[in-house]
């Protein structure tokens, strides 16, 4: 995900100061890590350099100077191009769970691998319960629900893999142990 | 912990095929427990033994300390009508009756007067957000709506334990979400124990805990030891 494009999107309703953008980002994407202010200003500087945003005249309202940024026509076109671009599915999914199963078989045999998979399954499901509570809480924002849906589907895919791995442990043990 | 429903050493075979090989299980009052496992693992057989639908070959099932598996079919049938609610994958609504009539049916069978039964049915449809379907027949509503009507019917007698066998098995993701959100919300507010069989982890995640059945045995820590606390790892590498 490109932070620059997200900030361009948050500028569509109108010009905003860097701090306002940070606040809107953190509120819109609660599942993401909160943005560092320095990251926001560095990204805005890059967007201004590329002509995607325009820096407005600084204004002072009872405190330090504040600078607002406005989306330019080029910025809007870039945003549109980004939205039309499909995210390439990752060709390789790093799977630390698979590595751990293999190592468990090597050092302690199939039963150790099964024990690990059962414990991992329980931990995954506990995390799924947390996301389920988040998205079904009264008044949950749709952005929170969508983020929880995404996390739940990924955890669910891991669980499918864990179930398949459990069914393959015996064969795997035969293959990789002398 | 004071368990409401327990099973000890339950064994059940169908012909020469063992379905359960000595299962222990326990649930506390008001708990929502997901019973999961692969197809053919024995999870539905366990649910049916707990609900008194199927009699185990060996072992025992207790409700509030009273053994129920060795009682007569008539006694277990009364138990299912008075203290248990049952919800299946396809709802099993009566196609000729309206939603309100379907929900009122268990009350009418229990001898409640028609007007009171219909009023209660409408209240329960309201709790599942399907009050506007009261006059519709099952063929006129979506699968998710029909399942919410079936859930209202399963709870209209205010059972102590609800047995749900794959209640979202035939539904898409959003319809499943509506059924599970409302089912668990209503059950928790009434302190109804829910025993939920599902093969879908997303549905199991609505429960307070999971019991995994594989090859006719329960996996993991013995369920009779008590309910696991929320001590699962706080951070998982695979989560965002």
CATH of the domain at A11: 1.10.10.10
Name chain B contacts of A163, Cβ cutoff 8 Å.
Answer: 38
> Is B119's pLDDT higher than 90?
yes
Residues A101 and A32 in one domain: no
pLDDT digits (tens, 9 = 90+) for B200-221: 999 999 999 999 998 899 986 5
| Domain assignment present for A66 | yes
Task: Confirm if A6 and A60 have CB atoms less than 8 A apart.
Answer: no
| Domain assignment present for A89 | no
Residues A163 and A103 in one domain: yes
| Domain assignment present for A7 | yes
Name chain B contacts of A124, Cβ cutoff 8 Å.
Answer: 201, 236, 238
Mean pLDDT value across residues A14-39 = 87
Residues A104 and A158 in one domain: yes
Q: Tell me the pLDDT of chain A averaged across its residues.
A: 87
What pLDDT band is residue B226 in, cutting at 50, 70 and 90? very low
Given this model, what pLDDT does residue A21 score? 93
Which chain A residue's Cα is nearest to B233? Answer: A123
Can you say whether residue B45 is alpha, beta or left, with left for phi > 0 and alpha for psi between -120 and 50 degrees?
alpha
Global pTM value? 0.79
- Is B219 at the interface with chain A, CB within 8 A? yes
Residues A62 and A129 in one domain: no
What is the spatial distance between Cα B119 and Cα B115, in angstroms, rounded to a whole number? 6
Q: How far is B34 from chain A (nearest CA, A)?
A: 11
| Domain assignment present for A57 | yes
pLDDT digits (tens, 9 = 90+) for A98-156: 888 888 888 888 888 888 898 899 999 999 999 999 999 999 989 889 999 999 999 99
| Domain assignment present for A91 | no
> Is A22's pLDDT higher than 80?
yes
Which chain A residue's Cα is nearest to B184? Answer: A136
Given this model, what pLDDT does residue B231 score? 33
Given this model, what pLDDT does residue B239 score? 31
Choose the mutation target among A130, A132, A153 for the interface with B, i.e. most B CBs under 10 Å. A132
| Domain assignment present for A90 | no
Residue in B181, B210, B238 nearest the CB of A125 = B210
Residues A102 and A153 in one domain: yes
C-alpha B132: how far from chain center: 25
Residues A57 and A24 in one domain: yes
Given this model, what pLDDT does residue A178 score? 64
The SS3 assignment for A156 reads helix
| Domain assignment present for A18 | yes
Residues A71 and A106 in one domain: no
Choosing from A60, A84, A108, the residue where a domain stops is A84
Mean pLDDT value across residues A51-71 = 86
pLDDT digits (tens, 9 = 90+) for B9-38: 999 999 999 999 999 999 999 999 999 998
What pLDDT band is residue A62 in, cutting at 50, 70 and 90? confident
- Is B239 at the interface with chain A, CB within 8 A? yes
Choosing from A84, A104, A127, the residue where a domain stops is A84
Mean pLDDT value across residues B57-74 = 94
Q: How far is B167 from chain A (nearest CA, A)?
A: 17
Mean pLDDT value across residues B171-176 = 89
Q: How many domains does chain A have?
A: 2
What pLDDT band is residue B234 in, cutting at 50, 70 and 90? very low
Given this model, what pLDDT does residue A2 score? 85
Range of the domain at A78: 3-84
What is the spatial distance between Cα A61 and Cα A67, in angstroms, rounded to a whole number? 11
The SS3 assignment for A56 reads coil
Name chain B contacts of A150, Cβ cutoff 8 Å.
Answer: 240
What pLDDT band is residue A89 in, cutting at 50, 70 and 90? low
> Is B228's pLDDT higher than 90?
no
> Is B166's pLDDT higher than 90?
yes
- Is B232 at the interface with chain A, CB within 8 A? yes
pLDDT digits (tens, 9 = 90+) for B78-96: 888 889 999 988 778 999 9
> Is B172's pLDDT higher than 80?
yes
Which chain B residue's Cα is nearest to A94? Answer: B238
| Domain assignment present for A133 | yes
What is the spatial distance between Cα A139 and Cα B175, in angstroms, rounded to a whole number? 19
- Is B205 at the interface with chain A, CB within 8 A? yes
Residues A100 and A32 in one domain: no
Of chain A, the percentage scoring pLDDT greater than 70 comes to: 94
Q: Do A155 and B220 touch (CB under 8 A)?
A: no
Of chain B, the percentage scoring pLDDT greater than 90 comes to: 78
Q: CB neighbours (10 Å) of residue A170?
A: 12
Residues A122 and A50 in one domain: no
Size of interface A-B (CB pairs under 8 A): 65
> Is B190's pLDDT higher than 80?
yes
Residues A114 and A56 in one domain: no
What is the spatial distance between Cα B31 and Cα B50, in angstroms, rounded to a whole number? 15
Which chain A residue's Cα is nearest to B205? Answer: A129
Residues A10 and A68 in one domain: yes
Residues A74 and A115 in one domain: no
Choosing from A61, A84, A107, the residue where a domain stops is A84
């Amino acid at each position: 995900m490109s932070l620059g494009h997200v900030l361009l999107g948050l500028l569509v309703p109108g010009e905003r100061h860097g701090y306002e953008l940070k606040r809107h980002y953190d509120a819109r994407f609660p599942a993401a890590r909160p943005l560092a202010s320095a990251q926001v200003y560095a990204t805005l500087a890059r967007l201004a350099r590329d002509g995607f945003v325009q820096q407005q005249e600084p204004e002072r309202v009872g405190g330090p100077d504040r600078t607002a940024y406005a989306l330019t026509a080029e910025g809007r076109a870039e945003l549109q191009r980004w939205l039309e671009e499909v995210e390439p599915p990752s060709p390789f999914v790093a799977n630390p769970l698979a590595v751990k199963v293999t190592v468990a078989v090597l050092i302690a045999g199939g039963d150790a691998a099964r024990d690990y998979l059962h414990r991992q399954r329980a931990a995954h499901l506990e995390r799924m319960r947390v996301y389920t509570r988040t998205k079904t809480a009264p008044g949950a924002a749709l952005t929170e629900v969508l983020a929880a849906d995404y996390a739940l589907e990924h955890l669910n895919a891991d669980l499918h893999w864990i179930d398949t791995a459990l069914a393959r442990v015996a064969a795997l043990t035969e293959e990789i142990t002398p | 912990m004071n368990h409401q429903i327990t099973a000890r050493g339950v064994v059940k075979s169908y012909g020469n095929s063992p379905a359960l090989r000595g299962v222990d299980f326990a649930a506390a009052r008001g708990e929502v427990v997901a019973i999961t496992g692969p197809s053919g693992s024995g999870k539905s057989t366990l649910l049916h033994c707990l609900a008194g639908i199927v009699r185990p070959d060996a072992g025992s099932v207790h409700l509030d300390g009273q053994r129920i598996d060795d009682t007569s079919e008539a006694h277990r049938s009364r138990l299912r009508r008075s203290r248990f609610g049952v919800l299946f994958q396809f709802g099993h609504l009566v196609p000729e009756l309206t939603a309100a009539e379907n929900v009122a049916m268990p009350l009418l069978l229990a001898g409640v007067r028609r007007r009171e039964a219909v009023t209660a049915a409408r209240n329960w449809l309201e709790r599942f957000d399907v009050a506007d379907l009261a006059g519709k027949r099952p063929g006129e509503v979506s699968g998710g709506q029909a399942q919410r009507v079936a859930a209202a019917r399963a709870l209209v007698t205010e059972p102590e334990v609800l047995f749900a066998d794959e209640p979202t098995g035939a539904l898409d993701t959003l319809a499943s979400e509506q059924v599970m959100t409302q089912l668990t919300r209503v059950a928790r507010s009434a302190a109804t124990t829910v025993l939920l069989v599902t093969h879908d982890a997303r549905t199991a995640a609505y429960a307070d805990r999971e019991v995994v059945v594989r090859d006719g045995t329960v996996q993991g820590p013995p369920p009779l030891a008590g309910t696991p606390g929320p001590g699962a790892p706080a951070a998982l590498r695979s989560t965002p």
